[in-house]
């Protein structure tokens, strides 16, 4: 099946990896548009150190983000199975040519200076931990620009993503209400029954990142609970008065706290991914890689995650299929 992800949320190879040993093909840097908003936020969710690199900060300040060199990489961001590469990657032999697209001949007329630099630093480590050699390239000195296991372990203490659903049965989950929940072909399949119901994790969670890959048969009203049945719910629906679509955050009995006004973000015939960060009272939501927004609406400090399905007139044929639920617990 086709899967989508937030970014946000799988530990994949760096979208900006200049030092990949295998090349997926070089591309011309995208033409910069001064009027567009450049945002690497989705990349930072998985590539944990990228936001703090000088090479990233400098390029971002000038209006150039990850996609300028690596393309939109939509499938890469949506692939929680970590198998899809960015649209464009570059081998070591391609880096200087790529940099020269914008930095015109960075070493032209400066070979003596470059030679002196290499002789001075030969065998010595730079601040990014790399030693200078005769074969050093731009990114060996200007930033790390790749994420290896050692760098991740040193830079972050967050645990890896784990599957909240084992793909075999509902171990670790409990039901409430009349909705029926079964496991078919490695997926959770829910039908609402007469009055609907919920599926809750037995584990209580406080702060976390979550990615839920699902497919919905319409008409449907469903959602993802954050910190229990009294907490907010990220809705899977189409709502009138006010107009709102999947990715909206609702407070049962109180109303809608955060509205998604973009109907086009949802694929009604395919797989979709809701990516959610829960931190303190704040919930931040992405749908298929596009940020909906953030809202401070959580009151409980801890609670289960859950899947909701409403029943009743109009929803008799509704079905929600959940392919994966990935969780990364966050430290305080």
Range of lowest pLDDT (63-72, 183-192, 193-202, 251-260)? 63-72
The beta strands (E) that lie in 131-232 are given as: 162-163, 173-177, 180-184, 187-191, 196-201, 208-217, 222-225
Residue 305 structure tokens: 């995650």
Per-residue pLDDT reduced to its tens digit, 211-237: 999 999 999 999 999 999 998 999 999
Mean pLDDT for the stretch of residues 62-78: 82
| Residues 209/285, Cβ–Cβ less than 8 Å | no
Cα separation of the two ends of the chain: 35
Q: What is the pLDDT of residue 122?
A: 67
**Among the CATH numbers 3.30.470.10, 2.60.120.560, 3.30.930.10, 3.40.50.1980, which is that of 162-329?**
2.60.120.560
Could you give the C-alpha distances from 43 to 11, 36, 220, 284, 321, in angstroms and in order? 11, 18, 32, 15, 27
Alpha carbon distance 246, 273 (integer Å): 11
| Residues 203/327, Cβ–Cβ less than 8 Å | no
Per-residue pLDDT reduced to its tens digit, 255-295: 999 999 999 999 998 999 999 999 999 999 999 989 999 99
Alpha carbon distance 3, 324 (integer Å): 9
- Report whether pLDDT(318) > 90: yes
Residue at token pair 């029926």: 180
Q: What is the pLDDT of residue 56?
A: 82
100 vs 227, more confident: 227
Q: What is the pLDDT of residue 120?
A: 65
Residue 42 structure tokens: 């989705």
Alpha carbon distance 59, 38 (integer Å): 10
Residue at token pair 């086709």: 2
Is 265 exposed, middle or buried, given 0-12, 13-18 or 19+ CB atoms closer than 10 A? middle
In a 3-state reduction of DSSP, which class is residue 1?
coil
- Report whether pLDDT(15) > 50: no
Confidence class for position 70, pLDDT limits 50, 70, 90: confident
Average pLDDT over the chain reads 79
Range of lowest pLDDT (69-73, 82-86, 252-256)? 82-86
| C-alpha angle 310-316-317 in degrees, rounded to nearest 5 | 105
Alpha carbon distance 309, 197 (integer Å): 6
Alpha carbon distance 78, 213 (integer Å): 10
Secondary structure element (H or E) that encloses residue 277, with its range = strand 272-279
The domain locations on the chain are: 7-155, 162-329
300 vs 91, more confident: 300
Mean pLDDT for the stretch of residues 52-66: 81
Range of lowest pLDDT (27-41, 63-77, 165-179)? 27-41
Q: What is the pLDDT of residue 210?
A: 95
- Report whether pLDDT(310) > 60: yes
pTM metric for this prediction = 0.57
Residue at token pair 């296991």: 149
Range of lowest pLDDT (141-145, 174-178, 268-272)? 141-145
Q: What is the pLDDT of residue 324?
A: 93
- Report whether pLDDT(151) > 80: no
HSE toward the beta carbon, residue 43, CA cutoff 13 A: 28
Residue from 147, 115, 111 nearest 129 by CA: 147
Residue from 243, 298, 300, 254 nearest 276 by CA: 298
DSSP string, 225-288: ESSSTTS-EEEESEETTTTEETT-EEETTTEEEE----GGGS-TTS-EEEEEEEETTEEEEEET
How large a percentage of the chain has pLDDT more than 90?
48
């Amino acid at each position: 099946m086709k899967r989508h992800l937030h970014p946000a949320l799988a530990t994949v190879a760096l979208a900006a990896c200049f030092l990949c040993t295998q090349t997926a093909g070089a591309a011309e840097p995208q033409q910069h548009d001064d009027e567009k908003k450049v945002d690497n936020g989705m990349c930072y969710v998985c590539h944990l150190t990228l936001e703090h690199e000088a090479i990233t900060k400098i390029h971002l300040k000038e209006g150039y983000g990850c996609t300028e060199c690596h393309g939109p990489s939509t499938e890469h961001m949506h692939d929680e199975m970590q198998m899809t590469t960015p649209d464009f990657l570059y081998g070591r032999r391609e880096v200087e040519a790529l940099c020269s697209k914008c930095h015109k001949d960075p070493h032209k007329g400066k070979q003596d200076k470059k030679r002196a630099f290499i002789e001075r630093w030969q065998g010595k480590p730079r601040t990014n931990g790399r030693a200078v050699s005769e074969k050093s390239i731009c990114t060996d000195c200007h930033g790390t620009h790749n994420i290896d296991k050692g760098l991740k372990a040193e830079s972050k203490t967050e645990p890896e993503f784990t599957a909240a659903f084992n793909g075999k049965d509902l171990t670790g989950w409990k039901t409430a209400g009349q909705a029926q929940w079964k496991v078919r072909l490695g997926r959770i399949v829910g039908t609402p029954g007469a009055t609907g119901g919920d599926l809750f994790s037995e584990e209580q969670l406080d702060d976390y990142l979550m990615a839920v890959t699902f497919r919905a048969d319409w008409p449907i009203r469903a959602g993802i609970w954050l910190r229990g049945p009294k907490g907010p719910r990220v809705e899977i629906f189409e709502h009138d008065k006010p107009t709102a679509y999947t990715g909206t955050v609702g407070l049962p009995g109180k109303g809608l706290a955060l509205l998604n006004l973009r109907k086009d973000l949802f694929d009604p015939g395919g797989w979709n991914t809701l990516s959610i960060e829960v931190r303190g009272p704040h919930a931040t939501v992405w749908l298929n890689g596009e940020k909906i927004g953030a809202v401070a609406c959580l009151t409980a400090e801890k609670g289960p995650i859950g899947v909701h399905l409403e029943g009743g007139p109009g929803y008799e044929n509704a079905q929600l299929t959940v392919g994966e639920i990935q969780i990364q617990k966050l430290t305080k």
